[in-house]
Amino acid sequence: MTDLTALTIAEARDQLKSKAFSARELTDAYLTAIDAANPAFNAYIAVTHDKARAMATASDEKLARGEGGALEGIPLGVKDLFATEGVHTQACSHILDGFKPRYESTVTANLWADGAVMLGKLNMDEFAMGSSNETSYYGPVINPWRAKGSNADLVPGGSSGGSAAAVSAWLCAGATATDTGGSIRQPAAFTGTVGIKPTYGRVSRWGTVAFASSLDQAGPIARDVRDAAIMLKSMASVDAKDTTSVDMAVPDYEAAIGRSVKGMRIGIPKEYRVEGMPEEIEALWQKGIAWLKDAGAEIVDISLPHTKYALPAYYIVAPAEASSNLARYDGVRYGLRVQGKDIAEMYENTRAAGFGREVKRRIMIGTYVLSAGYYDAYYLQAQKVRTLIKRDFEEAFANGIDVILTPATPSAAFGVADKEMAADPVKMYLNDIFTVTVNMAGLPGIAVPAGLDARGLPLGLQLIGRPFDEETLFQTAAVIEQAAGRFKPEKWW
Amino acid sequence: MSVDIQTVKRVAHLARIAVSEDDAQRMTGELNAILGFVEQLNEVDVSGVEPMTSVTPMAMKKRQDVVNDGSKAADIVANAPATDENFFLVPKVVE
C-alpha cells in the first residue's frame, strides 16, 4: 500500500468512499507516523490514540452503510487553543495546568459532526502570543524544512507552529489553527502549507481560548488550497453561542477552485514594499503578479496609506484585549494555584508562576495602556487608527479591486533561539507586518506557497479579500498554486 | 512616553503579577522598547475619525431571554484547584 499519510484530504476522502482502505487504516498510519516522528518536531503535546481509533472505527461503520459527512474518517490535529472535551486544553500555558474542559468548542464540534477524527492537540505559542512557537510552555516546535546543506533547526513560525509543522511533516491530514495577527498565515508560509484566516465572524469563537476578541479568528492549515477549502467549509458555521458569528450560510468553498480569474482586478499595494525586505521576497511577489496576469487578471497598483501603522496599533489593541481576557486566570476556577499569605498574594504568585515572559509582557502593556490617564493617548488613538486602516481597504474595494496580492512574510523561517529576535521583542513582532493589517480590518486572508528561497526554504504569498468573500481567495490562490507547484520538505527524520 | 521601574511595579500589581526587582528591571526596558515602537501612532491625523468599535458592521445578536442551560455545578468546579461541595475555595478574605 502507498503511504496513506501522503494523501491530501480530497484524495483520502475519495478513496475512503471507494473503500480503497479503511478509516481505521488511515488513522493508524498517522498514529504510527506521529509516534515515530513527533519527538523530532514536538508538534503534538498530546496524542489521543484511543479516541482517534474509536472515532475512526465509528467512521468505518458509517462509510460501510454508505453514510458519512464531508470529512468522514479524515484524521486532523487540533491546536491546543480549542476546547476539546476531556482532552488536554491549555493554550500551551502552565497556568491552565491540568485543564480538561467539560465542553467542546464549536469549531471542533463541527469537524467531528462531519466525521473527522482527532489525532491530538498541537503545540503553539502560549495563549497564541508569538511568531515562532518558542513561547510555548511545552518548548519550541521544529520546522520540517531545513536550509539546503544545513541541519540547523528552524522555527515553524507561530503561533500555530505545531499545526503548520504537523501538516507539513505528514503528521495529520490538516489542522485547526487561529490567527490574531498572522498566526495562521505566517506559519503556513514558513512550512510550505496553505493557511486561511477567514473574515471576522465567519467562524465561531465559542470554546476557543480568547486572546484578543476583536481580532481572533480560527481557520485551517492544510497541504493545498482545496484541502483548506474543504476544512473551512466544515469549521465555519452560524453559531448562536457567539454573538459575533455572522448570520450567513456557509458557501461551498471547494466549488470556487478551478474558476478562471480572467478579468479579475488584483490590487498591488505599494506600502507592502518595506525597507530591508529581501530581494527574494520582491522577486516572489513579481512572480505572483506575472502568474495572475498570465491567467487573465488585471493588475492594478493601489495605495493603502495607513499600512505602516497597523503593527503599532495592533500592539496596543491586542495586549489591551488580552489583559482583560487573561484576568480570568486567577488560581480559583481552573488550572494552577500557587499559595500566598492572602488572596491577593495568591493571585499574584499564581500569575507570576503560570504565565511565561511574552504573555506577562503583553498583559503589562495592555494594563498600562488601559490605565487611568493613558487610555486616550494609547487605546483610543489606536482604535481611531484602526478605523483608518479599514477605510484604506474599503476604498480599494470600492474602486473595483477584487483581491489584493502581497508577500505573506518579510522573510523565510529563521533559526530556533535566534539571538536578535530574543533580544528585541519588536523584531519578532515585525514578522507579522504583512498579515496584521488583515486582522485589524477584519478581512479574510490566505497564505499560499509560491516558491523557495536560495537556501531552499518555502516562501508564501498572501491574498486579501473583501469581507466574507473567501471564495475569491480560494479561486485566486488555486491559480497561484497551479503555477507555482507544490512544495514538500526533504524527509530527514 | 516611557515608564520607570516604579510604574512597572505599579502596573504589575494592577495586573496581579508578582515581580522581583530583577523582573521589574528587565520589564522596564522591554516595555519602553514597545512603547517607543507604538509612539509613531501620534503622527497620524485622527481628527474627526471615530474609534473602531466593531470590525464588521453588524448589530449584536441578542439571545432569547430563556433558561436553556444550567444545573452543571459539578462540571463548573471540576477543574478548580480547591473546592468543597460545589463551592470554589479561596484563602480567607474577611476576618
Q: Alpha helices, DSSP H only, in A236-356?
A: 279-294, 310-325, 343-354
Residues A351-409: pLDDT tens digits? 999 999 999 999 999 999 999 889 999 999 999 999 999 999 999 999 999 999 999 99
| CATH number corresponding to B5-42 | 1.10.20
Q: Is A48 helix (H, G, I), strand (E, B) or coil?
A: coil
Question: What does A376-427 look like in DSSP terms, one character per residue?
Answer: IIIIIHHHHHHHHHHHHHHHHHHTT--EEEEES-SSS--BTT-HHHHH-HHH
Q: What is the pLDDT of residue A387?
A: 97
Residues of A in Cβ contact (< 8 Å) with B9: none
Q: Is B24 helix (H, G, I), strand (E, B) or coil?
A: helix
Q: Which of A136, A163, A168, A183 is catalytic?
A: A183
Put simply, whether A365 touches B (Cβ < 8 Å) is yes
Please indicate whether, in this complex, the C-beta atoms of A364 and B42 are within 8 angstroms of each other. no
Contacts of B59 (CB under 8 A, 6+ apart): none
Beta bridge partners of A47: A120
- pLDDT at position A125 over 70: yes
Please indicate whether, in this complex, the C-beta atoms of A199 and B11 are within 8 angstroms of each other. no
Q: Is A365 helix (H, G, I), strand (E, B) or coil?
A: helix
- pLDDT at position A1 over 60: no
CA distance A352 to A338: 9
Q: Would you kindly state where each structural domain of chain A is located, as residue ranges?
A: 4-259+450-459+480-484
Q: Would you kindly state where each structural domain of chain B is located, as residue ranges?
A: 5-42
Integer CA distances (angstroms), A374 to A37, A320, A370, A471, B26, in order: 49, 12, 6, 42, 22
What's the mean per-residue pLDDT of chain A? 97
Chain B, residues 43-82, CB within 8 A of chain A, namely 44, 46, 49-56, 58, 60-63, 72, 75-82
- Cα A146 to chain centroid, rounded: 21
- Mean pLDDT in residue range A266-275: 94
Q: What is the pLDDT of residue A425?
A: 82
Residues A224-256: pLDDT tens digits? 999 999 999 999 999 999 999 999 999 999 999
- pLDDT at position B95 over 80: no
User: Which residue of A lies nearest to B55 if distances are taken between CA atoms?
Assistant: A442
Residues B10-52: pLDDT tens digits? 999 999 999 999 999 999 999 999 999 999 999 999 999 999 9
Integer CA distances (angstroms), A89 to A80, A335, A336, in order: 5, 10, 13
Please indicate whether, in this complex, the C-beta atoms of B11 and A371 are within 8 angstroms of each other. yes
Please indicate whether, in this complex, the C-beta atoms of B7 and A246 are within 8 angstroms of each other. no
CB A63 within 8 A of CB A72: yes
Q: What is the pLDDT of residue A233?
A: 98
Q: What is the pLDDT of residue A133?
A: 97
- pLDDT at position A171 over 90: yes
State phi, psi for A250 to the nearest 5 degrees.
-85, 120
Q: What is the ipTM of this complex?
A: 0.96
- Mean pLDDT in residue range A116-137: 98
HEC assignment per residue over B32-92: HHHHHHHHHHHHCCCCCCCCCCCCCCCCCCCCCCCCCCCCCHHHHHCCCCCEECCEECCCC
Put simply, whether B3 touches A (Cβ < 8 Å) is yes
In what helix (H) or strand (E) does residue A448 lie, and over which residues does it extend? strand A445-452
Q: Return the sign of the alpha-carbon dihedral for residues A53, A143, A459, A427.
A: positive
> Measuring CA to CA, which residue among A85, A16, A471, A81 is closest to residue A249?
A471
Q: What is the pLDDT of residue B59?
A: 79
CB A196 within 8 A of CB A220: yes
- pLDDT at position A104 over 60: yes
Residues of B in Cβ contact (< 8 Å) with A98: 79
Active site residue A79: yes
- Mean pLDDT in residue range A27-46: 98
Chain A, residues 206-265, CB within 8 A of chain B, namely 214-215, 240, 243-247
Number of residues that this document lists for chain B: 95
Helix B21-38 and helix A310-325, axial crossing angle in degrees, nearest 10: 140
Q: What is the pLDDT of residue B62?
A: 82
HEC assignment per residue over A124-180: CCHHHCCCCCCCCCCCCCCCCCCCCCCCCCECCCCCCHHHHHHHHCCCCCEEEEEEC
A159: preceding bond cis by omega (within 30 degrees): yes
pLDDT bin (cut points 50, 70, 90) of residue B58 is: confident
What's the mean per-residue pLDDT of chain B? 93
* Upper half-sphere CA count for residue A276 (Cβ side, 13 Å): 7
Put simply, whether A330 touches B (Cβ < 8 Å) is yes
Burial track A234-257 (b if 16+ CB lie within 10 A, e otherwise): bbbbebeebebbbeeebbebbebb
Position A388, amino acid? L
CA distance A191 to A447: 11
CA distance B8 to A204: 36
Which candidate in A215, A241, A332 is best for mutational testing of the B interface (most B CBs within 10 A)? Answer: A332
Residues of B in Cβ contact (< 8 Å) with A215: 55
Active site residue A371: no
Chain B, residues 10-29, CB within 8 A of chain A, namely 11-19, 27
Active site residue A270: no
Q: What is the pLDDT of residue A9?
A: 98
Q: What is the pLDDT of residue A309?
A: 97
Q: What is the pLDDT of residue A2?
A: 64
CB A231 within 8 A of CB A13: no
pTM of the model: 0.97
Put simply, whether A127 touches B (Cβ < 8 Å) is no
- Which CATH superfamily, name and number, covers A4-259+450-459+480-484? Amidase signature (AS) domain (3.90.1300.10)
CA distance A442 to chain B (A): 6
CA distance A198 to A473: 10
Contacts of A413 (CB under 8 A, 6+ apart): A143, A145, A154, A155, A156, A157, A190, A191, A457, A458
Which candidate in B44, B45, B46, B63 is best for mutational testing of the A interface (most A CBs within 10 A)? Answer: B44
Strand pairing of A298-302 and B87-88? unpaired
- pLDDT at position A474 over 60: yes
- Mean pLDDT in residue range A80-84: 98
